[in-house]
Amino acid sequence: MTASTDVPSKRTPLYDLHLELGAKMVPFAGYDMPVNYPAGIMAEHRHTRERASLFDVSHMGQIRLTAKGGGNAADALETLVPGEIRELAPGQMRYTLFTNEAGGILDDLMVTNSGDHLFLVVNAAHKEADAAHLRAHLAERCEIEELTTRALLALQGPAAAEVLGRFAPQCRTMPFMSASFLVLDGMTALVSRSGYTGEDGFEISVAAKDVEPLARRLLAEPEVEPAGLGARDSLRLEAGLCLHGQDIDETTTPIEAGLAWTIGKRRRAEGGFPGAETILRQLREGASRRRVGIRPEERAPARAHTEIRDETGRRIGEVTSGGFGPTVGGPIAMGYVEKEFSAEGTTLRLAVRGREMPARVVRLPFVPTNYYRG
CA–CA separation, 259 and 242 (whole Å) = 10
CA–CA separation, 262 and 241 (whole Å) = 13
Indicate the pLDDT class of residue 195, thresholds 50, 70 and 90.
confident
Residue 243 lies in a domain: no
Range of the domain at 346: 288-374
Q: Write the DSSP symbol of residue 13.
A: T
Residue 93 lies in a domain: no
* pLDDT per position as a tens digit, 218-235: 999 999 999 999 999 999
Residue 226 lies in a domain: yes
Query: Final residue of a domain: which of 202, 220, 238?
Result: 238
Residue 268 lies in a domain: no
Indicate the pLDDT class of residue 374, thresholds 50, 70 and 90.
confident
297 and 215, same structural domain?
no
233 and 305, same structural domain?
no
Task: Give the 3-state DSSP-derived string for 119-174, with helices as H, strands as E and coil as C.
Answer: EEEECHHHHHHHHHHHHHHHCCCEEEEECCCEEEEEEECCCHHHHHHCCCHHHHHC
302 and 229, same structural domain?
no
Average of pLDDT values for 335-355?
Answer: 97
367 and 299, same structural domain?
yes
* pLDDT per position as a tens digit, 63-76: 999 999 989 999 99
User: Is 260 in contact with 283 (CB distance < 8 Å)?
Assistant: yes
Residue 115 lies in a domain: no
Residue 121 lies in a domain: no
Residue 126 lies in a domain: no
* pLDDT per position as a tens digit, 263-313: 999 999 999 999 999 999 999 999 999 999 999 999 999 999 999 999 999
Residue 341 lies in a domain: yes
Q: Which of 101, 64, 60 is nearest to 80 (CA)?
A: 101
165 and 40, same structural domain?
yes
Q: Indicate the number of domains in the chain.
A: 2
What CATH number does the domain containing 51 carry? 3.30.1360.120
CA–CA separation, 277 and 310 (whole Å) = 31
Query: What's residue 7's pLDDT?
Result: 61
185 and 55, same structural domain?
yes
Indicate the pLDDT class of residue 140, thresholds 50, 70 and 90.
very high
Indicate the pLDDT class of residue 3, thresholds 50, 70 and 90.
very low
Q: Which residues pair with 194 in a beta bridge?
A: none
Full-model pTM: 0.96
155 and 54, same structural domain?
yes
Strand-strand pairing, 330-338 and 289-296: antiparallel
Q: Distances from the Cα of 45 to the Cαs of 23, 41, 42, 160, 234, in angstroms? A: 15, 6, 5, 15, 7
3-state secondary structure of 95: strand
Query: What's residue 20's pLDDT?
Result: 98
261 Cβ neighbours under 8 A, 6+ residues apart: none
Average of pLDDT values for 85-114?
Answer: 98
203 and 307, same structural domain?
no
* pLDDT per position as a tens digit, 148-188: 999 999 999 999 999 999 999 999 999 999 999 999 999 99
> Buried b vs exposed e over 93-119: b needs ≥16 C-beta within 10 Å?
bbebbbbbeebbbbbbbbbbbbeebbb
20 Cβ neighbours under 8 A, 6+ residues apart: none
